[in-house]
Chain A
Amino acid sequence: DAKTTQPTSMDCAEGRAANLPCNHSTISGNEYVYWYRQIHSQGPQYIIHGLKNNETNEMASLIITEDRKSSTLILPHATLRDTAVYYCIVRVTYGGATNKLIFGTGTLLAVQP
């Protein structure tokens, strides 16, 4: 699996957009980018994933560069409840036995009031 690089921590003001970067320069053509987050004392929570097109759902937007070597997770209006560790994971998806996630150290996003 391609490795990912994320900043250790970031701050964001409440109500502002939070932009979390992720570098995955060794990503292959069939590898998806997944984002999860983990709020303190809870299990990780799926946010969004994409292959090469930008994606948006009710939680966030995912912007993937044209060369796919980096991506940005955008929380459009961060709230205090968005304070969490955010994990960027690159994973090959071809069904069957080998699908699994490898979590790195992630980015601790601290939303400030």
Chain B
Amino acid sequence: DAGVIQSPRHEVTEMGQEVTLRCKPISGHNSLFWYRQTMMRGLELLIYFNNNVPIDDSGMPEDRFSAKMPNASFSTLKIQPSEPRDSAVYFCASRPGTVQETQYFGPGTRLLVL
């Protein structure tokens, strides 16, 4: 199994630009999570999906952030417009079920907004 796949691995953009982060969960997993990690705030849950349906988006910082999961094998996290304070590492994780919390994390996308 290839594990959770994220792209791009690194992204440098200018303030005001749209940024799209992509995630392919592990096949057969039915839960998907987006996290953000910064030195100041640590690892924060942004949103998660069960069976492609957004369940909890209370961690999404503001309307500039949106996430979609059009099918079981793909999810996107979009920031529009991006700001320097969005600079962070964004992780995607998937989970095989909804009972236990064994989440499998991707390698992350390092985003730098100038």
- List chain A residues, Cβ under 8 A from B101: 32, 34, 49, 89, 91, 93, 99-101
B43 at the interface (CB under 8 A from A): yes
Q: Nearest chain-A residue to B6 (Cβ)?
A: A43
Rounded to whole angstroms, the CA-CA distance of A77 and B42 in the bound complex is 28
**Beta-carbon contact of A97 and B56 below 8 Å:** yes
**Taking A44-B105, A97-B55 as contacts, is the C-beta distance between A103 and B98 under 8 angstroms?**
no
**Beta-carbon contact of A105 and B42 below 8 Å:** yes
**Beta-carbon contact of B100 and A103 below 8 Å:** no
Rounded to whole angstroms, the CA-CA distance of A95 and B106 in the bound complex is 23
B69 to chain A minimum Cβ distance, whole angstroms, is 15
**Beta-carbon contact of B98 and A99 below 8 Å:** yes
Interface of B is mostly: strand
- List chain B residues, Cβ under 8 A from A89: 101
For A, the interface residue count at a CB cutoff of 8 angstroms equals 24
Interface string of A9-28 (1 = CB under 8 A from B): 00000000000000000000
Rounded to whole angstroms, the CA-CA distance of A97 and B98 in the bound complex is 8
Rounded to whole angstroms, the CA-CA distance of A58 and B29 in the bound complex is 23
- List chain B residues, Cβ under 8 A from A102: 45
**Taking A43-B91, A43-B107, A46-B104 as contacts, is the C-beta distance between A99 and B99 under 8 angstroms?**
yes
A96 at the interface (CB under 8 A from B): yes
**Beta-carbon contact of B99 and A100 below 8 Å:** no
- List chain A residues, Cβ under 8 A from B42: 103-105
Rounded to whole angstroms, the CA-CA distance of A98 and B42 in the bound complex is 21
**Beta-carbon contact of B45 and A101 below 8 Å:** yes
**Taking A44-B91, A49-B100 as contacts, is the C-beta distance between A103 and B48 under 8 angstroms?**
no
A49 to chain B minimum Cβ distance, whole angstroms, is 7
Chain B residues at the A interface, C-beta cutoff of 8 Å: 4, 31, 33, 42-45, 48, 50, 55-56, 91, 93, 98-108
21 A-B interface contacts by CB (under 8 A) = A32-B101, A38-B43, A42-B105, A42-B107, A43-B93, A43-B106, A43-B107, A44-B91, A45-B105, A46-B104, A49-B101, A49-B102, A91-B101, A93-B100, A95-B99, A98-B56, A99-B98, A99-B99, A100-B45, A101-B45, A101-B103
